[in-house]
Amino acid sequence: MANTYRRDGGRVRGRPSNIRRAAASGAIALMLTSLTGCFLLEGPSPRTPERTAPVEPETAPEFMPDGSATDNLPYFTEVLRQYSAGDGPVEGQPIVNAVAESGFDKSAMSVSFDESKTGYAADSIFVSVRIGPDCLLGQIAAEGRGFAAEAEPAIGPDQDVCLIGETRPIDW
């Protein structure tokens, strides 16, 4: 047991008061919180990379029906740029239709869902076109209507998957 003393010098045996214990615990918690905050603030701060909007090409890229995904990437990028610059809805069906109308094979496409499983509108729509062993991958964001496009190898056991996860059936 801890010893405590009275003001008149007499000794009292027993435990420290609950108030003292609470004050000590609070002081320790405050000190640890302060120290933790210092450690979290130290070190390099993350930098957000600058994003540059793709500019309209001087000469319009052309669709190459027999070309590879890499050959058709400039054209695919331009299709997505034009769609994102317009006022069409950022939804799977109109985006797939725009890509198909530009010459790409609709049966080789995949598209993400318009809504999450909880019923919220998708933040962006992903669309892909498989061309041989490679894929053209595109994304159009609902907010700000930004877009991105790239060519990557197909994945999966049969090397035939462009978008990972469950995709929406293209049945129209």
Angle at 169 between CA 123 and CA 94, to 5 degrees: 55
Lowest mean pLDDT among 8-12, 18-22, 88-92: 8-12
Mean pLDDT of 61-68: 97
Cβ contacts of 34 within 8 Å, gap of 6 or more:
none
Question: How far apart, in Å, are the Cα atoms of 18 and each of 6, 23, 24?
Answer: 16, 8, 10
Range list of β-strands (E), 48-132: 109-111, 124-131
Mean pLDDT of 153-166: 95
pLDDT of residue 68: 98
Amino acid at 17: S
pLDDT of residue 96: 98
Mean pLDDT of 102-117: 96
Question: CB count, 10 Å around CB of 45?
Answer: 6
Question: CB count, 10 Å around CB of 119?
Answer: 6
Q: What is the pLDDT of residues 89-99, one digit of tens each?
A: 999 999 999 99
- Cβ 14 vs Cβ 1: under 8 Å: yes
- Cβ 172 vs Cβ 108: under 8 Å: no
- Cβ 136 vs Cβ 129: under 8 Å: yes
pLDDT of residue 58: 82
pLDDT of residue 93: 98
Q: Give the global pTM.
A: 0.69
Q: How far apart are CA 61 and CA 136, in angstroms?
A: 15
pLDDT of residue 23: 65
What integer best gives the mean pLDDT of the chain? 84
